[in-house]
Structure 1
Amino acid sequence: MPNLPKDKAPGKRARSLWKPAADRSYQSDVTVPLHLAYCGIVAALRHHATTKSSALAVLEIAAADGIDSYVHAGRLFLRQLRNLTGFSEPFVRAVKQRKGDRPSEVDVYRRAAEDGRGILLCSNLEDVDEELRLFADVVVTIPKPTSRQITATFRRYGHLLTKPEQQMIASESWTRLIYAFPPDRPVLAGLRRLRETAEMPAAQRPTRLAAGPKLEDLSGLGLAGQWGLELARDLSDFNAGLIAWDDVDTGALISGPPGTGKTLFAEALARTCTLPIVVVSAAQWQAAGYLNDLLKAMRESFREAESKGPALLFIDELDAVGSRAIHDSQHADYKRQVINGLLELLDGFERRSGVIVIGATNHPENIDPAILRPGRLDRHFVLPLPDATTRKQIFEFHAGIPVPEDHEDSFTHSTAGMSGAGLKQLVRDGKRAARRARTSFGFEQVLEVARPLIELPVEHVRVVAFHEVGHAIVGLELGMELEGIGITDKVLAEGLHTLGGALFMQHSFPMKTRSFYLDLIAMYLGGLAAETLMFGEFTESGGGDPSSDLGVATALATKVEACFGMGGTLAVDIVHDHELGLIRTNDVRVRAAVSETLDKQFARAKEILGIRSAAFRKLAETLMMARSMSAAEVSEVLHRHPRAHTDALGSDTSKPFQPFQIECRRVHGLHYDEVRREMDAAFGRWGTR
């Protein structure tokens, strides 16, 4: 709230914000959008301001995204009208769409009696109860700012608008005005920012793409690439008159982390299908202006694609449209109309013909489910970060040079976790280094700019080798199907890395009994058990975070004892992983049960390794030299070094085990979803999944 002058004498009316401010320090935090809102309220209530009786005004705001500015402006107006000082706040409320957010009649009557005057603001008069509209002395709609109000606002800041500038301000959305004119930014700087963004290239650019990669030239697309090739065949059949348009898939959603190539996929799909492409984004639609302007821009994008049909319409940042499943009472009506408008264009009464829509997002969970229903964007493909083989192919595509065989390992490790965009940047950096050195571009320049690697000390490699072998032996002895194990002797000097991993196959329909989970816990603890047997204790990195072996084992044990009905109670609770720690903290019985389960499975894992001690040592020695071992190589060593004795390994080993896919790893600074990519990078040479 702007501060009124301290020297204002009692009873003297405050200076109006409507008039130009000679003293620029006075109410300097009154921004352009706030002053525009103030002008609108003054224009709506000027004829009612002189009345001495109590009054309640209900104001409908045409600029729905500016209602907070109008609340602030309404308080300024009433403070000046009633000559308020100090911390007294006038009664100004924004009426939300939800019933629970609306002020009650009693609240309004009480505040109106106490304050004498009040303002209720809404984006739709239907959001205000009929009784309150009857009680109000003034019910009026405040339109978008007029040219006179825009001119007066900028004159207050000492700037006389040109006609193009006035038209530009009138066409902007309220949200963009708020961002363009924050407190303390000079008005001329805000105008320049608006002009620069307004002069950017058009939001959509229909074109037949220039030469570039097709789908068959790209690696790592998985199911998305297969779908795109099938789509190209269907379009060929459609053009030949063999099938109808209804037989062609006309929509898909592409998601994945930033830099995985969602835009590149759309462009390659257009080239493969020989289609023109119209590129838009949901954010660009929103920048078009108010709701009607947004819906108009949306329709124009589809109309442009239809005029080029068959054509591909690529909608980037689709999650910006929003989802009705995500609660947002302030903008629920706005969001609902936007989503309904998009649904009508995707699959309305007049079905789109000749337009294939590809949506892209980093956050598919924020897409409204109705958009993903059959007939709309019913196909969903996830583009993961590339594995080691794909990274090599992407690099060679952009660089035009191969990765030398003697540098493949270092390239694999230094590019672990990198996206296609990151690899392209690596090539640019290498070429820049070559230009600076005035030499031809080669792999030497790539090594200069790549993330540096450091050698692990031998004692660390030894611990990691025994750790991963411990996972492998415990898992195999409990009936799991191993794919391979691997370790590394090089790690990134900074950033994320993994030191080793063991990978097991996944069964489509595992029997998830208590014994299943206990075997799983024992296998996870196999690495720590191996370290304890060999070195007397295990290292912190084996259990330092929730995604580590010990963290996952603890979470599984908590679910077994407290959530799955497999512990001391048959009750089932749906609990998020981040809430499991609270269960153990708040219930000492659960904590004791979890500790007992972990202790038993830890002892069980050590017993298994003790029985397999000869093979255990031999596998670790072999792994230290080879750095990776396939399942066949591990089985051969186990066959040559039989069990020390054949005693039972525990009550949970008598039943057949359904194989599954799981990674056990020693991790430094990695979240679970990043571990898989790191393992693919480090051990891709023997084909981990």
Structure 2
Amino acid sequence: MRRNDAPITNVPMEFTSVLMQLRRAALENRNAFLHSGLALHSRAGMAALLKSSRNFIAYCGFVRFVRMHRLVFAKPAFVIVIDVPKVWRVPDVQAAASMAFGHNNELRFLNHAAARDRKGRWEIDTSDYLAAPKLVIFTAEETEIHPDFEIAATFRAKIDLGLERHFRALSSLLKCEDLTDEAIAMISKEPSERIDAVFRLGHSAEVAISKLKSFAAPEKILSEVVPQSTTTGFGPAGEWAQNLKKDIAAWRQGTLPWSEVDRGVLIYGPPGTGKTRFARVLAQECGMHLVATSLSRWQSSKDGALGDLLRAMYASFAEAKADAPSLLFIDEIDSVGDRNRFPARHRNYSTQVVNGLLEALDGVDGREGVIVMGACNRPDQIDPAVLRSGRLERHIYFPLPDIKARGDILSFYLPSLVDEPQLRNLAARLVGYSGADIENLARQARRRARENNRAVTLTDVEEYMPERQALDDQALLRVAIHEAGHALLAHHLTVGTVQLVEIYDHRDIHPTQTTGNGMALVETPKRTFRTRSSILNHIAMTLGGLAAEEIAYEDRSTSSGGTKESDLALATAMAIEMVSEYGLGNSLVFAPKAVDPGDALALWQDPFLRKEIDAVLNREFQRAKDLLSARKAELMEFATTLQRKKRLEGRELEGLLSGNGPAD
């Protein structure tokens, strides 16, 4: 006989004593459990199997848990908290436990699901459950439980479900053929509902598990797009949202009265900036019920009569109150209009709609837990009474995303490319893109990757980047002359400090802050009062690019018009404001909003105002030409230097503005 196979002899007495003590302790624990009044039903396993495959696995896991902790279950009274793995449904494990122990008057089970109401109060009557001598509480792992149960708990542990030997036993009982270790590892990570689909009497479990692999790729792609956070890409609104979340949490805890919470807010900005998405994400993060509506939705109620519209409006407010805390989101609230602007034909109907909204908003003061959020593109179209204190009193601008926000949004929708340095460079080129535009671009890139059956790459993103025609030297010089005109007039008319001037050839240099071909960045000082001359100087500077082109080429291009953000649009808006709101024209009449500065058609319908605005613009355009003509040499030196270097700032820019040439 070999040495290693020799019988054990000469074992020290103290070692034998320890073994005997352990054996006696195990027997005592077993006997204590047997005499505790609790008994595991020997035939419950077959009953669990007949019910469902996943019930059998849950039963096996629970029986193992009881046997591992039989001394705890042997106590005359206990409160045991069992943490159930995330891939398992808590009711399934509780059902398996009920089958294992059967009916017992002293033993109660509790499925501790999310048990707080929307205000954060617990809905569980703990005293009813804690009155039982023996209580087993099942809860999803990493889930909060009622403080009373935390205090009363005598034992808490996580239950292991889906062990290898349990799956092999299940497969053998159902004649599902042998399982590989890889197959078991895969099914154990899947949601427990999949067990019933995999293990069926007489069917190969291995084949069924192999089919799970086909779901892996699509699910991974879909997982890239998850609910966005209010901290990403929402600018000032995101900062406000973080403070609101803290206030809501404090209100729920009873440390902050509702009167201290922002109850009315207007978010406004260009289309596609994510106002609707922001409301949806905010409600989710704050744990608030979302009521999303609009004037058009209220009008579509029944036949759109005034009474039907108002009833639909009040119903939205009533729903928000009933499900408080809630966020009542009114989209396109500017369509409600302004009572001072309604045409006579619809004035009565439209005025009563505004009055109804005001009445509903005033009622919010008595509706604790309701926040009203309006969203629009044109806040100037809304009746001022809607926006006053006590109603939609907080006003937050939703700008198009800046460079950082564009990068954050693109990274959010393409998380697999976050570590790619070039991704931020691509985001910088998406100037003028809204959050919705960037989301669409990312979606197109992901679709291209799916069509090629691979992960998304930078090449996929490049495929959908905006294409801009590269500028040749002649076109680039025109752009440089245009921007030089703005910069020189801003300096000589003391409109502000010229910080930066740059142009883009769309070949090697791309814009990051403007949709145009160039930019003169002027920082204007904050003044308590604006004078007539300061406004006129600003108008002349705004028309300086157009004036510079005419001086150099005796011709004009389309570069100063075409959009509501163009030089001509901005100069026109300043002239309208100066004449109609500040009495700095030919009349002292105060006529605010007499003409919408962004509505050219309205200006053409007022011949008297149009004539005066036209005179202001022509006079300032001629003044800009005269000033630049006197400095034509400086203008051309500035432009040619800018054409060559593409970007001017610092001492070099100061030298060109002062007429001393570029500083070395």
TM range (shorter): 0.5 to 0.7
User: CA contact under 8 A between 1:214 and 1:271: conserved in structure 2?
Assistant: no
* Partner of residue 45, structure 1: none
Shift of 1:427: 1.2
Tell me if 1:606 matches 2:644.
no
Tell me if 1:486 matches 2:469.
no
* Partner of residue 269, structure 1: 282
The one-letter code matched in structure 2 to 1:460 is: A
Residues 316-335 of structure 1, C-alpha deviations (whole Å, 9 max, x = no match) = 34345555444255555554
Residues 228-251 of structure 1, C-alpha deviations (whole Å, 9 max, x = no match) = 222222223322333321121111
Which has the larger displacement, 573-582 or 285-294? 573-582
The one-letter code matched in structure 1 to 2:379 is: P
The one-letter code matched in structure 1 to 2:250 is: D
* Partner of residue 404, structure 2: 389
Measured in 1, the distance between the counterparts of 2:410 and 2:541 equals: 37
| Change in 2 beyond 3 A, CA 1:355/1:211 | farther
Measured in 1, the distance between the counterparts of 2:422 and 2:364 equals: 61
Tell me if 1:504 matches 2:522.
yes
Alignment of 1:241-260 (within 5 A): 241-260=254-273
| Change in 2 beyond 3 A, CA 1:241/1:477 | same
* Partner of residue 283, structure 1: 296
Alignment of 1:344-423 (within 5 A): 344-348=359-363, 351-400=366-415, 401-402=417-418, 405=421, 411-413=427-429, 415-423=430-438
Residues 76-101 of structure 1, C-alpha deviations (whole Å, 9 max, x = no match) = xxxxxxxxxxxxxxxxxxxxxxxxxx
Shift of 1:558: 9.7
* Partner of residue 629, structure 1: 648
Residues 560-598 of structure 1, C-alpha deviations (whole Å, 9 max, x = no match) = 89998778x676686746477899999999988975664
The one-letter code matched in structure 2 to 1:470 is: G
CA RMSD of aligned residues (A): 4.3
- Percent sequence identity over matched residues? 35
SS for the counterpart of 2:267 is strand
| Change in 2 beyond 3 A, CA 1:499/1:372 | same
| Change in 2 beyond 3 A, CA 1:529/1:253 | closer
User: CA contact under 8 A between 2:291 and 2:319: conserved in structure 1?
Assistant: yes
| Change in 2 beyond 3 A, CA 1:638/1:306 | closer
Shift of 1:262: 1.1
Counterpart selection for 2:541 from 509, 523, 527:
523
User: CA contact under 8 A between 1:282 and 1:317: conserved in structure 2?
Assistant: yes
| Change in 2 beyond 3 A, CA 1:604/1:554 | farther
Counterpart selection for 2:554 from 524, 532, 537:
537
The one-letter code matched in structure 2 to 1:475 is: A
| Change in 2 beyond 3 A, CA 1:238/1:641 | same
The one-letter code matched in structure 2 to 1:442 is: T
* Partner of residue 132, structure 2: none
* Partner of residue 213, structure 1: 228
The one-letter code matched in structure 1 to 2:628 is: A
Measured in 2, the distance between the counterparts of 1:250 and 1:439 equals: 47
Q: Which runs of 5 or more residues in structure 1 are unaligned?
A: 1-209, 645-689
| Change in 2 beyond 3 A, CA 1:593/1:583 | farther
SS for the counterpart of 1:490 is coil
Measured in 2, the distance between the counterparts of 1:335 and 1:562 equals: 26
The one-letter code matched in structure 2 to 1:506 is: T
Measured in 2, the distance between the counterparts of 1:437 and 1:482 equals: 49
Measured in 2, the distance between the counterparts of 1:343 and 1:589 equals: 38
SS for the counterpart of 2:371 is strand
User: CA contact under 8 A between 2:230 and 2:282: conserved in structure 1?
Assistant: yes
Residues 237-296 of structure 1, C-alpha deviations (whole Å, 9 max, x = no match) = 322333321121111122233321112211222233232323333333333325555444
The one-letter code matched in structure 2 to 1:397 is: F
Measured in 2, the distance between the counterparts of 1:272 and 1:373 equals: 27
Measured in 2, the distance between the counterparts of 1:338 and 1:329 equals: 15
Q: Which runs of 5 or more residues in structure 2 are unaligned?
A: 1-224
User: CA contact under 8 A between 2:234 and 2:278: conserved in structure 1?
Assistant: no
Measured in 2, the distance between the counterparts of 1:511 and 1:390 equals: 34
SS for the counterpart of 2:516 is strand
Alignment of 1:10-25 (within 5 A): none
Residues 340-392 of structure 1, C-alpha deviations (whole Å, 9 max, x = no match) = 44433332398111111222234434444333232222222231222233222
* Partner of residue 231, structure 1: 244
| Change in 2 beyond 3 A, CA 1:606/1:556 | farther
| Change in 2 beyond 3 A, CA 1:393/1:630 | farther
User: CA contact under 8 A between 1:477 and 1:608: conserved in structure 2?
Assistant: no
Measured in 1, the distance between the counterparts of 2:543 and 2:358 equals: 50
Measured in 2, the distance between the counterparts of 1:374 and 1:639 equals: 48
Alignment of 1:310-325 (within 5 A): 310-319=325-334, 321=336, 323-325=338-340
* Partner of residue 473, structure 1: 488
| Change in 2 beyond 3 A, CA 1:599/1:560 | farther
TM (normalized to structure 2)? 0.54
Shift of 1:448: 1.7
The one-letter code matched in structure 2 to 1:635 is: E
Tell me if 1:445 matches 2:464.
no
Residues 293-312 of structure 1, C-alpha deviations (whole Å, 9 max, x = no match) = 54444444333333332222
Query: Between Structure 1 and Structure 2, how many residues are aligned?
Result: 423
State the structure with more CA Rg: 2
| Change in 2 beyond 3 A, CA 1:342/1:581 | closer
| Change in 2 beyond 3 A, CA 1:561/1:408 | same
User: CA contact under 8 A between 1:542 and 1:550: conserved in structure 2?
Assistant: no
SS for the counterpart of 2:630 is helix
Shift of 1:482: 1.2
SS for the counterpart of 1:327 is coil
The one-letter code matched in structure 2 to 1:231 is: L
Shift of 1:440: 2.4
Residues 107-144 of structure 1, C-alpha deviations (whole Å, 9 max, x = no match) = xxxxxxxxxxxxxxxxxxxxxxxxxxxxxxxxxxxxxx
* Partner of residue 305, structure 1: 320
* Partner of residue 669, structure 1: none
| Change in 2 beyond 3 A, CA 1:638/1:262 | closer
Measured in 2, the distance between the counterparts of 1:325 and 1:592 equals: 28
Higher RCO, 1 or 2 (CA under 8 Å, sep at least 6)? 1
Shift of 1:445: 1.3
Measured in 1, the distance between the counterparts of 2:353 and 2:577 equals: 41
| Change in 2 beyond 3 A, CA 1:395/1:632 | farther
| Change in 2 beyond 3 A, CA 1:295/1:591 | closer
* Partner of residue 177, structure 1: none
User: CA contact under 8 A between 2:547 and 2:624: conserved in structure 1?
Assistant: no
The one-letter code matched in structure 2 to 1:381 is: I
Shift of 1:441: 1.4
SS for the counterpart of 1:381 is strand
User: CA contact under 8 A between 1:254 and 1:358: conserved in structure 2?
Assistant: yes
Shift of 1:502: 0.8
User: CA contact under 8 A between 1:554 and 1:598: conserved in structure 2?
Assistant: no
Measured in 2, the distance between the counterparts of 1:274 and 1:538 equals: 60
